[in-house]
Copies of this chain bind each other. A is one copy, B any other.
Amino acid sequence: MIFASDNWAGAHPRIASALAAHAGGFEPAYGNGPLDAKVQAKFAEIFERDVAVFFVGTGTAANALSLVSADRPGGVSFCHRESHVMDDECGAPEYFTGGSRLHAVDGALGRMDPDNLTSAIGRFAGDNVHAGRAAAVTITQATEIGTLYTPDQIRKISGIARQHGLPLHMDGARFANALVSLGVTPAEMTWKSGVDMVSFGGTKNGCWCAESVLMFDMDRAKEFGFIRKRAAQLFSKSRFIAAQFDAYFEDGLWLETATHANAMASRLAGHVAASASMRLAWQPQANEVFVVMTQDTADALQQKGVHFYDWNTPRAFASQIAPGERLWRFVTSFGTTVEDVDRFGELLS
């Protein structure tokens, strides 16, 4: 019963097959092969517009380099206090930008609060060289705690960003999980709602290693080839990423795996809700379930072979954790089975 992370799963069989199918023969390196071109065209089709597509190797790279492309001297980028860029990338955004700052913005349920964002940007508006100045806004969809921004909520954020002349980046490590949960189109969830750049992740949803930076502004994209190469993220045998995305999009595999992962999370959440020994921290909207229980209860489950992690309590949730309680995270993926989820449910009852 592995609910440790969606990156504990390997590759979906159709991804693995596609890789094997594309292993043979010679192709131009560094993204110049026909499969690269095919996948780029597929992205344009899916997003219903021109889009610049840059493969990179990790979600951390996708996020950090997006922020590099938006940076300027004295730059400050705004993210949620408990976002991945803030908590789980070892300072990569700051490192790759050469020292720009991430500024934490609070908000309930993993979402930046628009008023807090406005007031945070306000501190860096104008031409005050002592303070530094705003450079970009970045949101995570689905958020680090498995909740979602609706397109309306995204538009609210992008409106504020635009008012200050800032690009809006979306960390879409779990893009597909958010998309199918909201039931909107990729266009609606991104550029139609004011998103300028996307870290489009395939890895957590069934690929081995397939991440892309998407840019809707072709002018900004012109710089990105150098930004990526200088950052050691231009893969020579680029087709091994292209092949994954090719299979990922084929016959809607990506939507299928995300839908499955989300359903497994819902099912798992149902078991939790029915249990007397734990409770849902909040309603899951994608493929992550956050649960409040005691250390003892968690220990007992782990001894029975259930894998999951403890989680730092978000500031906005702190008041809802009683002494002795802790927060825990369960993640489902394309590889999670109904059987495992229900075995877990049985352990609870």
Which chain A residues have a beta carbon within 8 Å of chain B's beta carbons? 2, 4-5, 7-13, 15-17, 19-20, 22-30, 56-61, 64, 68, 72-76, 87-92, 94-102, 123, 127, 129-133, 203-204, 208-209, 223, 225-237, 239-240, 307, 312, 335
Q: Are A90 and B208 neighbours in the complex by a CB distance under 8 Å?
A: no
Identify the closest chain B residue to A15 (Cβ): B23
Given A23-B10, A57-B57, residue A229 in contact with residue B99 (CB < 8 A)? no
- With a cutoff of 8 Å between Cβ atoms, the chain B residues found around residue A59 in the complex are 236
Q: How far is the CA of A332 from the CA of B64 in the complex (A)?
A: 36
> Given A26-B335, A95-B231, A127–B225 Cβ distance below 8 Å?
yes
Q: Are B4 and A28 in contact, with the CB atoms below 8 A?
A: yes
Q: A74-B230, A88-B130, A92-B232 are in contact. Are A22 and B5 (CB under 8 A)?
A: no
Main secondary structure of the interface of A (DSSP, over half): loop
Per a CB cutoff under 8 Å, which of B8, B17, B233 touches A58?
Answer: B233
A166 to chain B minimum Cβ distance, whole angstroms, is 15
- Give 9 closest A-B pairs by Cβ, nearest first: A98-B98, A95-B99, A7-B236, A61-B232, A74-B226, A94-B99, A16-B23, A129-B229, A2-B26
Chain B CB count within 10 A is highest, among A4, A22, A60, A100, for A60
Q: Give the nearest-CB partner of A21 in chain B.
A: B16
The answer for the CA separation of A312 and B119 in the assembled complex, in Å, is 12
How many Å from the CB of A26 to the closest CB on chain B?
A: 4
Complex alpha-carbon distance, A27 and B61, angstroms = 23
> Which residues of chain B are near A60, meaning CB under 8 Å?
229, 232, 234
- A231's partner among B17, B92, B237 (CB-CB below 8 A) is B92
Contact across chains for A58 and B10 when beta carbons are under 8 A apart: no
Which of B8, B9, B74, B312 is close to A91, meaning CB atoms less than 8 Å apart? B74
B-side contacts of A130, CB under 8 Å: 87-90, 229
Given A19-B208, A90-B229, list of 9 further CB < 8 A pairs? A10-B25, A11-B19, A19-B20, A26-B335, A61-B232, A95-B99, A98-B99, A129-B226, A133-B226
Give the docked Cα–Cα distance between A210 and B225 (Å).
Answer: 22
Given A88-B130, A230-B74, A240-B11: A235 and B223 interface contact (C-beta under 8 Å): no
Inter-chain contact A23/B11, CB cutoff 8 Å: yes
Q: Are B123 and A312 in contact (CB under 8 A)?
A: yes
Cβ contacts under 8 Å, A23 to chain B: 10-13, 15-16, 208
Cβ of A235 and Cβ of B90 under 8 Å apart? no
Q: Determine if B232 and A58 form an interchain contact, defined as CB atoms under 8 angstroms apart.
A: yes
Interface CB pairs A-B, < 8 A, 5:
A73-B223, A73-B227, A73-B230, A74-B229, A129-B226
